[in-house]
Structure 1
């Protein structure tokens, strides 16, 4: 059905389309001198297939490169707009009279990737066969310049994000006092987006939602970052007055050797600094902070859903359906197309599940390798000639293990960005990046192979499957070692007379008498700091150095074209045609940028979701993690903007109304954060043992209120004694039982609750274990209840958004009804008085017809007004 104008006449076609100045797409191929080669024939055949679809192809040769400029005819976009209008789920509105360039690029990209040659190869296959070297859409110079000046620069950190990736008007903070407004602006504009949006026609909704989510995540990191600093300062305030620290620093307790042969007994007071660091992160404040972060993760997701709903409603994509969009593009590309059917194979699913399980076991096996490395490193450092390393062999081994863990993370999880010559030279400047560039990208390769086994129906389904698998592999790569440190370190090492050894030779590590939480803190701090600093540095300098090399190679061409149409190119009107030199200059400038692919945005999302995992899962051991994440994200927003606008080719704009499967991943992380933080507090920290000692074994037991602190004597209570005269103690040689002052000792202490006679576990150990278990269950239930209440209390969409969508649907139905009424009246008028083209009678009848048509037009206008 056509569109009825206000005068009553039916418009059979849509308004004229905007004619773009630039081409929709560019294909690049190497010059092939031998025209008999198979690659040349396939290249020509593919171009001919495009021309059969009335696609304009402009060929320009430059040295050893052949550029094909692709420009689709307006009929293709008229089909798209009509199908979009009759669609039930694509949010058509009557003001969509033009197709923006971002939509044109998306349509042309779909046509190019779904146009096969006679032998069946698509463009993706031809790219693998090196028939074409590159494919990309062009940057728009004016908008690119606007983005660079207003957003994609470091000095724009205090400005709002252009969520539509073009421009926006920042909110004004005028109701606050000046000083408060300045602070609010610093916190708000660094990460949050402004509301006044002009348009979103550059990178598409998918990129816009990424920056919308990243800005919202960064903005909501401000409360946990501040509270984390307060928790840290709370531990710092009692740094010197805590009886636990005083007991460690003033103790004359002799501790058992930490390794065999070379290690000797040592004084507990030697680890005074270690005990102080432990108390900074293992105090009563971390319990409340962990509960807060578990609830915060839920509130963050619920408020994100509201925040997203406001923007997708404004963008008219609330009811957008990916499947229907795909069908529309299929019809636009080929009217006689057939939909791809959904398929499921239990055999393939079982095979994929087995492979995923095997890959996870391999990653966990690397954790065991790290454990072995730390044990051997501690033994070797203890044998060294440097006294400092000998005395701190366990700490040194733990830090070396953390660095090695980071290297494994870099090798296993790096999703390579395709870059060319020159980047490897810069990568070689750092051993970490050299390992990254030479790595096999194991996780990525395995995930892609498993997706190929599944044979998913569409690219969207492949992307979803790849996202789940890749995140699973990366999660285990990042956190397997952390789970060992948090829940197994110091708990499976045994005791004097029954130490657990690797290959019967090397003893497992032990925890410090002040607790194991400091080991987890050091591991997290090293990984987060290295990951955020080194990765960000090379993430920016690598593409920048690569672009600099490319610019040097294109300098001659730029000089050649500097006098040709440069100014007119920026001020050209619709329909103006540029000369070949200016076209080539523009295409070459885009060709020299860093390559992007379908997973470029996936890489950014994955990096931030992993950071979200660090921020929430083990936050009880590292309260400063939200602060580090906040600082990193403020930099990350501008870094990603600079890369996308100035250093990389333009991403193909994609349409969507959500962040996809990532929301399910974030919800799973939120649930895991509750479990992990409950276990960290209940099992890893000394919160429960201190609580039991305070009320059952300490000076304040049985309700007494002595003059001394209730925690006095806790350190001695947490230690057990091993005697050299016992026949079970065979690990320690006589030379190991000599103190640094030359004094021979007959017994030493170790951290555990065991009997001094038969080394069996004491009743206090079992009581503490029972309280630990009860606390974990109680903690998780309380937090889960809070999570459900928060999810119920915060609606997923604001009421204003729901009302706007309701009125939009009502207005659309009214518009369709008015079109039907006007078309029916016009058809009825034609049947009553057909225009006869002969004689004066015909002239009078045509005059009456025009008069009646005029009245009919007024009537249709009145009908539309009444309906609306």
Structure 2
């Protein structure tokens, strides 16, 4: 593959073109700020390690140079850049590797507009190596470990296998790619422009392509998903606003349309990401997932297809380890559920029943307990989940991340949703009965005596407690509004404030250090021009930033999606709040990446992976929650024959103005058709009846989803531009292979055929095939002859 030319950078940059930076701790921290002399043997060992690292980088044919970290903090910054020929060679090897692995790149759709081929390499065959590809190749060279293949295809290229605190180079403390400040500034400036189109339609595909070109497909796919989710929320927001203005809460019509919308959104995005994969040349990249360095194979075998040595870990061993991890999962689920339930109960008792001394302070106890217990359990689970996922011994990074994502989000989503579940299915149906039982047994008296520190504290003779149905909408407001504002503030503004405070402290410390230590006392002094000093300071500042993690952003959107589809029948304004929040979320996430995070290492991706299945699961569970909520709490002016009295009671609590208790004839109640082993009267009967209704609705939902998927596949995918391009590319590959095979046969040998009438002894049945023995024409000729 020959290089044609390098595109000029659209966004001017004063800093040098650096692909990667490595930080090496040359002098121990305890010697940096002191006057103690560094031992000679330590300097010799560090020098030997440093030179070994440099030789390792140069062996990869990378350009390498180094600078001392500003302010002489004992670190050496090693700058790495890949020559154009090296990148072109890796691209050629990647194309061969992709072809063998089943990756289909439709080049006619994978060409970026000329306006943003900045910093790219373009080849004679019109191949473009984008800035994201450049960093991805360099990262592959640095981190990929030499060794055996873990798939049926050989490795693309061997790398150095470097990582932080590598056993070979223990003082390699960090490594990262650098931000392109010109692109970042232009990106934020472009997305900050306000227009009616941006309000209603979000960002265009051109901007998504620009992100893919610079940050890689994985990050671009997240913003494509977020943008589509934002635009798709518009009809749901309009629907919710209309029902809220009409005062129709727990509406069956709203719930039915909302669950249908959720199904359509999931399936439309499934088609949408497939189109992005075709346009970006990512179809099939799941077959070439990044190998996981920590993978430990059970054995090395010969692949029956390629006959290469392959590292394997049998599927049943991994599945068995997953089964062994289930007790730990159930333990933490039970622990977290217990903590949330006890905190919920404490909040009800102290907030709605307790009237003793210090009430304003006592009501803060549940909040304090929640802020201590829940994060502690989540932190412990995060450590445990990481250990369990490592124990499963996944061979690729993608499978490891998928398993860890399910474990982490599965427990994380309990925290925001558990409160609504407890309120809807425990507090409102059983709240008064539960509090009466605690009161009659004296538990409330003993609890209040302990809280008030008054042994003689006495409860009133009769407990005056009534459930507050408004608690449902209050909790949903906190989930859809308050928590979103807090997340935006903590992700976007808090890091900026903390960095400003940190810089202020550093300036104060620098002034003090300059007084105590002049330049003559410094071990080494280097002179850099102003532009280089600014560049080195920027590199130092980026090393202080955390690594960008897509899990946090996807989890936030999945939680919001769940809050809307699961519970918004309680408060139909939830989609409106989500729509408004997501307009800011798109821009705040962009600001977060360029300001508060390191530059993400570009990765290829053809799907959002596990998160798509999470969304589909939430949409399916939404059928159950909406059906039960509507059945239990829907406002109806009259109570029909199919609604038991207890259900009317629950509705009356939420809608006292429009409902009245109306006894039902027992023979006409829905409970009369229940099996005998199920409760047939009381609150429990209403809950069981709602569950039966929900199960019936869920079965109907599955059928509807299959119909929706069938229709959308034909509307959005069949005969689309991307589908035709994919089929055309696959056809061209087959034709090309066939042409090569025919040329190979023609050039290798000319096939000589021998007449079948030959007397060659290798044809023992030659007499049978002799044309003189053919009887067909003779039969027709003799048919007209008379006997």
Question: Does 2:22 match 1:15?
Answer: no
Question: Does 2:32 match 1:27?
Answer: no
Q: Provide, for residues 733-775 of structure 1, a one-character-per-residue CA deviation record: whole Å limited to 9, x for no partner.
A: xxxxxxxxxxxxxxxxxxxx9xxxxxxx996878856754553
SS at match of 2:490: helix
Distance 1:826 1:18 in 2: 39
The answer for the alignment partner of 1:70 in structure 2 is 80
The answer for the alignment partner of 1:234 in structure 2 is 246
Alignment of 1:538-549 (within 5 A): 538-548=490-500
Distance 2:398 2:642 in 1: 57
Q: 1:207 to 1:773 in 2, by over 3 A?
A: closer
The answer for the alignment partner of 1:627 in structure 2 is 576
SS at match of 1:123: coil
Question: Does 2:67 match 1:60?
Answer: yes
Distance 1:590 1:405 in 2: 39
Q: 1:802 aligns with which of 695, 699, 723?
A: 723
Q: 2:332 aligns with which of 356, 359, 365?
A: 359
Greater Cα shift, 50-59 or 372-381: 372-381
Distance 2:434 2:208 in 1: 69
Contact 2:164–2:172, Cα closer than 8 Å, also in 1: no
Contact 1:360–1:473, Cα closer than 8 Å, also in 2: yes
The answer for the alignment partner of 2:480 in structure 1 is 528
Greater Cα shift, 593-602 or 107-116: 593-602
Contact 2:255–2:569, Cα closer than 8 Å, also in 1: yes
Q: 2:427 aligns with which of 461, 486, 489?
A: 489
SS at match of 2:437: coil
The answer for the alignment partner of 1:110 in structure 2 is 140
Greater Cα shift, 206-215 or 602-611: 602-611
Greater Cα shift, 85-94 or 631-640: 85-94
Distance 1:31 1:98 in 2: 39
The answer for the alignment partner of 1:655 in structure 2 is 604
Question: Does 2:400 match 1:370?
Answer: no
With the length of structure 1 as denominator, give the TM-score of the two structures.
0.63
Greater relative CO, 1 or 2 (CA 8 Å, sep 6+): 1
Q: 1:585 to 1:231 in 2, by over 3 A?
A: same
Distance 2:644 2:389 in 1: 57
Q: Provide, for residues 651-695 of structure 1, a one-character-per-residue CA deviation record: whole Å limited to 9, x for no partner.
A: 111111111111111111111111122222224x25589634898
Question: Does 2:141 match 1:99?
Answer: no
Distance 1:666 1:778 in 2: 21
Greater Cα shift, 614-623 or 767-776: 767-776
SS at match of 1:361: helix
Q: How far is 1:17 from its partner?
A: 7.4
Q: 2:621 aligns with which of 668, 672, 683?
A: 672
Q: 1:22 to 1:380 in 2, by over 3 A?
A: same
Unaligned runs of 5+ in 1: 1-12, 159-181, 236-279, 331-335, 414-440, 557-578, 701-709, 720-752, 754-760, 829-868
Q: 1:124 aligns with which of 149, 164, 182?
A: 164
Alignment of 1:438-449 (within 5 A): 441-449=379-387
SS at match of 2:41: coil
Distance 2:529 2:171 in 1: 23
How many correspondences in the alignment?
624
With the length of structure 2 as denominator, give the TM-score of the two structures.
0.69
The answer for the alignment partner of 2:703 in structure 1 is 785
Q: 2:313 aligns with which of 319, 325, 342?
A: 342
Q: How far is 1:377 from its partner?
A: 0.9
SS at match of 2:429: coil
The answer for the alignment partner of 2:525 in structure 1 is none
Question: Does 2:398 match 1:460?
Answer: yes
Q: 1:373 to 1:822 in 2, by over 3 A?
A: same
Q: 1:201 aligns with which of 198, 213, 223?
A: 213
The answer for the alignment partner of 1:706 in structure 2 is none
Distance 1:511 1:772 in 2: 29
SS at match of 1:59: strand
Contact 1:447–1:470, Cα closer than 8 Å, also in 2: yes
Unaligned runs of 5+ in 2: 10-15, 28-37, 108-124, 148-159, 296-306, 448-461, 509-527, 649-654, 665-670, 672-678, 750-787
Contact 2:436–2:463, Cα closer than 8 Å, also in 1: no
Contact 1:25–1:137, Cα closer than 8 Å, also in 2: yes
Contact 2:106–2:278, Cα closer than 8 Å, also in 1: no
Q: 1:528 to 1:409 in 2, by over 3 A?
A: farther
Q: Provide, for residues 248-267 of structure 1, a one-character-per-residue CA deviation record: whole Å limited to 9, x for no partner.
A: xxxxxxxxxxxxxxxxxxxx
Question: Does 2:92 match 1:82?
Answer: yes
Q: Provide, for residues 633-655 of structure 1, a one-character-per-residue CA deviation record: whole Å limited to 9, x for no partner.
A: 11111001112123332111111
Q: 1:195 to 1:378 in 2, by over 3 A?
A: closer
The answer for the alignment partner of 1:775 in structure 2 is 693
